[in-house]
């Protein structure tokens, strides 16, 4: 009887650990992003509806209320909108950093053959929209908004792919994820280099020294999530005070998180089995149906949790833990706070800026991603992903123009005039809707009659 109970607990526990920490995170990533896109969409629609309702002024005023953190010798006071954009979005950027590092170390960007096509596609998808916007907006107000159209929104684009069902090849989803992640990296560099001003280099220097120290500790095998969190908070404050955007701290700190495991698979098996033996042993003295566990059983559970955390690489563990918060809380809250545009036909509304951003997103992304990818494949620099046709590549290139989250974020950095901010928001929304719709139609046509490919 004891042996059967032991086997049952061990099989169940092993299944849970494998599902949560050891299995390749790709399928979970896609599920989170696509389901999160629904909430993101609802948050966006809610913001637009409320911003154009009788509650409009209350909605707009709420984000300007100040929240102050005050300690002896230190005070940080910002409006709610800034706490979201500078604070919570630092967690979003931290997750982006984790994804970038994982892809570079062991994912689709780990070797040149895998990485060349999405890297070149992302470069084309950043350069062409920026160039088209600059040409269209030449001599017009708002020329510094060229960075708004350079990034692709992973959540919405994966959500649209999900609508097409299992006919979409897994390799196409991986390609989209890879070039969108590189897009995000490019956007981070653009923010750091072009949308930061009045820099205080002393604060930046101290922050970078802390980051380097954390990297050294990580390389030597020392990692404590509590210590890294404390140091991360200090780096965030230093960057916030320095003039460089505080979210950059999130990306840099992510690069300090180790990908090495503290416990290998065999040790995990042996240690977990010992803990389970302790847990099951007390079943001789306590009926299984009893609601209250013994001290030994509670200690065994603590041991199992510790073993599970040490078996998963810290980077993967954090990525897994944060995805839900980012997908279901942070990004929808960001959208709800930033997507509320008051529709107006007043003469001062900058329709030209809106249309230029929309065109840059739709046309620039489509031309940039497809043209550079096509040339790379024809010149034998890269290979077309398995089961992906050039028609599918065209569809995914158009879909790349869906640049919601990062576009709205850069918009807040590029402009200070509220009229321009609203006009740019309108351009982002229109461009993203057009790109998403056209991309869906082209992909649906391209997939029609194609060989059915189910995700493994």
Each residue's pLDDT, cut to its tens digit, for the chain (456 residues) gives 445 545 554 455 555 444 444 445 556 655 666 677 788 889 989 999 998 999 999 998 999 999 998 878 778 888 999 899 889 989 988 998 898 888 888 777 777 777 899 999 999 999 999 999 999 999 888 899 999 999 888 888 888 888 887 788 888 888 988 888 888 889 888 998 888 877 888 999 999 999 999 999 998 888 888 899 999 999 999 998 888 888 889 989 999 998 877 777 777 777 777 777 777 776 665 555 566 777 877 888 888 877 777 777 888 888 888 988 888 899 899 989 988 887 765 556 788 999 999 999 999 999 999 999 999 999 989 988 888 899 999 999 999 999 888 899 999 899 988 889 989 999 999 999 999 999 999 999 998 856 544 444
The answer to whether 175 and 118 are in contact (CB under 8 A) is yes
Per the domain annotation, does 93 fall within a domain? Answer: yes
The answer to whether 278 and 299 are in contact (CB under 8 A) is yes
* C-alpha closest to that of 100 among 108, 90, 91, 89: 108
* C-alpha closest to that of 369 among 335, 401, 391: 401
Per the domain annotation, does 375 fall within a domain? Answer: yes
Range of the domain at 112: 2-196+245-261+312-447
What's the farthest any 2 CA atoms get from each other in the chain?
Answer: 83
Alpha-carbon distance of 382 to 380, in angstroms, equals: 5
Q: At what angle do helices 170-194 and 404-414 cross, to 10 degrees?
A: 10
* C-alpha closest to that of 89 among 238, 196, 195, 246: 246
Per the domain annotation, does 49 fall within a domain? Answer: yes
Q: What is the CATH number of the domain that holds 408?
A: 1.20.1530.10
Per the domain annotation, does 209 fall within a domain? Answer: no
Q: What predicted TM-score, i.e. pTM, was given to this entire model?
A: 0.77
Torsion angles phi and psi, residue 66, rounded to 5: -90, 140
> Structural domain tally of the chain?
1
Alpha-carbon distance of 107 to 97, in angstroms, equals: 14
Per the domain annotation, does 455 fall within a domain? Answer: no
282 contact partners, CB below 8 Å, separation of at least 6: 294, 296, 297
């Amino acid at each position: 009887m004891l042996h059967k109970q032991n086997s049952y607990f061990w099989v169940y526990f092993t299944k849970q650990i494998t599902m949560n920490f050891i299995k390749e995170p790709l399928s979970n990533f896609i599920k989170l992003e696509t389901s999160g896109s629904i909430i993101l969409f609802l948050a966006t629609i809610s913001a637009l509806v409320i911003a154009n309702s009788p509650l409009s002024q209350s909605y707009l005023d709420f984000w300007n209320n100040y929240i102050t953190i005050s300690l002896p010798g230190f005070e940080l006071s910002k409006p709610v909108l800034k706490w979201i954009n500078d604070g919570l979005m630092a967690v979003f950027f931290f997750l982006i950093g984790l994804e970038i590092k994982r892809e570079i170390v062991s994912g689709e960007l780990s070797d040149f053959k895998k990485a060349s096509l999405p890297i070149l596609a992302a470069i084309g998808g950043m350069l062409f929209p920026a160039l088209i916007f600059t040409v269209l907006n030449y001599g017009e107000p708002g020329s510094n908004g060229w960075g708004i159209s350079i990034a692709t929104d992973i959540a919405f684009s994966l959500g649209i792919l999900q609508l097409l069902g299992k006919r979409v090849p897994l390799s196409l989803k991986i390609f989209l994820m890879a070039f969108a992640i590189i897009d995000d990296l490019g956007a981070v560099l653009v923010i750091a280099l072009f949308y930061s001003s009045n820099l205080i280099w002393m604060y930046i220097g101290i922050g970078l020294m802390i980051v380097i120290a954390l990297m050294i500790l990580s390389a030597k095998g020392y990692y404590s999530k509590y210590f890294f969190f404390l140091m991360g908070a200090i780096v965030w404050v230093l960057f916030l005070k320095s003039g460089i955007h505080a979210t950059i701290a999130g990306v840099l700190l992510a690069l300090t998180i180790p990908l090495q495991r503290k416990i290998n698979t065999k040790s995990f098996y042996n240690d977990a089995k010992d803990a389970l033996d302790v847990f099951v042993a007390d079943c001789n003295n306590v009926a299984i149906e009893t609601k209250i566990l013994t001290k030994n059983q509670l200690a065994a559970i603590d041991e199992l949790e510790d073993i599970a955390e040490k078996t998963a690489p810290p980077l993967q563990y954090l990525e897994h833990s944060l995805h839900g918060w980012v997908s279901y809380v942070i990004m929808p809250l960001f959208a709800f706070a930033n997507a509320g545009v008051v529709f107006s036909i007043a003469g001062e509304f900058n329709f030209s800026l809106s249309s230029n951003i929309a065109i840059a997103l739709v046309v620039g992304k489509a031309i940039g991603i497809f043209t550079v990818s096509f040339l790379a494949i024809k010149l034998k620099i890269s290979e077309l992903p398995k089961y992906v046709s050039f028609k599918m590549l065209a569809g995914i290139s158009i879909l790349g123009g869906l640049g919601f989250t990062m576009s709205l974020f850069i918009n807040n950095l590029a402009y200070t005039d509220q009229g321009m901010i609203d006009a740019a928001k309108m351009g982002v929304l229109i461009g993203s809707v057009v790109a998403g719709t056209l991309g869906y139609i082209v992909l649906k046509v391209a997939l029609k009659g194609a060989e059915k490919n189910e995700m493994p």
